[in-house]
Amino acid sequence: MAFLPSWVYVLVGCFSASSVGASDLSDMEPTLWKESPGQFSDYRVENGKYLIDPWNYTKRMGMYKILLNQTARYFEKFAPENEQNILWGLPLQYGWQYRTGRLADPTGRTDCGSASGDPLCVSVDSWWADLNYFLSSLPFLAAVDSGIMGISSDQVMLLPPPKDQMRFCYDVSSCRSSFHETMNKWNAFYQYLQTPSSNFDDLLKYLWIAHTSTLEDTFKSFEDRCGYYSKPEERFERNWVVAVEYLAALSFPTTLIRSYKFQKGLPPRVLLKTDVVPFISDFTAFQNIVLFALNVLNKLDKLIG
Ligand SMILES: *[C@@H]1O[C@H](CO)[C@@H](O)[C@H](O)[C@H]1NC(C)=O
Ligand SMILES: *[C@@H]1O[C@H](CO)[C@@H](O)[C@H](O)[C@H]1NC(C)=O
């Protein structure tokens, strides 16, 4: 990632310029946002701990909802209605993964996440769900650890998936010990957030540093999942990880409106082996162009290292 080709800026410009269509902010909220838990008391309590099942779509979404709620006060100075909260990008991406079938079991061995089976089930075999696990649990637990969530660090615990339990961490102390540096980066973001003089651009920098660090820590552990997908989807997954580095380098502002518009360019379903980029007939021209551009970006990235 030695330099950013100028067309990357043009592409990001496209994302921002594409028309919104929705005028109401609540239309841009992630899928099933209203149905998701919005406070700790919506979760089960056992031995003085809130138990959250992140393998249930709305329950994992609830972690984001509490996070957005508890951080809203720090973004009031930028715009009303929490629109400028840059944490919106995370739940919006998670909602897109759900809507497009990416949280379902890609092996087809279970009906986890399938419309006819258990639609709210989040599959531990889904590559998207596994990486999102860390992009939801680490920012959430670091926020608890930073003291901005109104509960203490030992008061919350996440429930394990049905298998591969050793690959995950479940509470503030175990996530801190497995992902020390990354948790520190999330903590640094929340520390800066609480600074009265915090500015928007620096907030974005802190956020993207923590985000990319989370992916770097976890991406390799789930490479085995890529094999469950069609070649085009697998390629998209690998391209996506590279694309996120570029979004980070550009400090893409992950506010509600900007994230919502950005998603118009993302594939609306899991890619099939018969899909040929950029000629996928049920995708918009914009979605085809984005997939094509991501292929080029990845090739270029490999070339320039
Ligand atoms: C946060 O949640 C509380 C309780 O659910 C709600 O009354 C309040 O409006 C929320 N605040 C924001 C900014 O979303
Ligand atoms: C997810 O949680 C909702 C709300 O508690 C519940 O109705 C649903 O059955 C759960 N689904 C799964 C797969 O855990």
2, with CB counted inside 10 A (0-12, 13-18, 19+), is exposed
pLDDT score of 2 more than 60 = no
pLDDT score of 18 more than 70 = no
pLDDT in tens, 199-244: 999 999 999 999 999 999 999 999 999 999 999 999 999 999 999 9
Could you tell me how many helices (H) and strands (E) the chain has, helices first? 11, 3
Ligand 1 binding pocket includes 209 (Cβ within 6 Å): no
- 51 Cα: distance to centroid of ligand 2 (angstroms): 14
**Phi, psi (deg, nearest 5) at residue 198:** -55, 140
pLDDT score of 279 more than 60 = yes
- 56 Cα: distance to centroid of ligand 1 (angstroms): 22
pLDDT score of 258 more than 90 = yes
258, with CB counted inside 10 A (0-12, 13-18, 19+), is buried
Cα 204–Cα 126–Cα 232 angle in degrees, nearest 5: 85
**Phi, psi (deg, nearest 5) at residue 191:** -60, -50
- 32 Cα: distance to centroid of ligand 1 (angstroms): 17
Whole-angstrom Cα distance, residue 150 to residue 148?
A: 6
pLDDT at res. 304: 84
pLDDT score of 167 more than 70 = yes
Probe target for ligand 2 pocket from 32, 56, 57, 118, with the most ligand atoms within 8 Å of CB: 56
User: In 170-264, where do the E strands start and end?
Assistant: none
Ligand 1 binding pocket includes 39 (Cβ within 6 Å): yes
pLDDT at res. 22: 47
pLDDT in tens, 49-107: 999 999 999 999 999 999 999 999 999 999 999 999 999 999 999 999 999 999 999 99
Helix (H) or strand (E) holding 52: strand 49-52
Whole-angstrom Cα distance, residue 277 to residue 297?
A: 14
- Strand partners for 112: 118
Determine which residue's CA is closest to atom 5 belonging to ligand 2.
59
Whole-angstrom Cα distance, residue 89 to residue 160?
A: 25
Question: Which residues neighbour 297 within 8 Å (Cβ) at sequence distance 6 or greater?
Answer: 5, 8, 239, 242, 243, 246
Measured from the Cα of 53, ligand 2's closest atom is: 14
Q: Would you place residue 20 in the very low, low, confident or very high pLDDT band (cuts 50, 70, 90)?
A: very low
Alpha carbon separation from 191 to 51, 71, 142, 203 (Å, rounded): 26, 12, 10, 10
pLDDT at res. 152: 97
- 123 Cα: distance to centroid of ligand 2 (angstroms): 13
Ligand 1 binding pocket includes 165 (Cβ within 6 Å): no
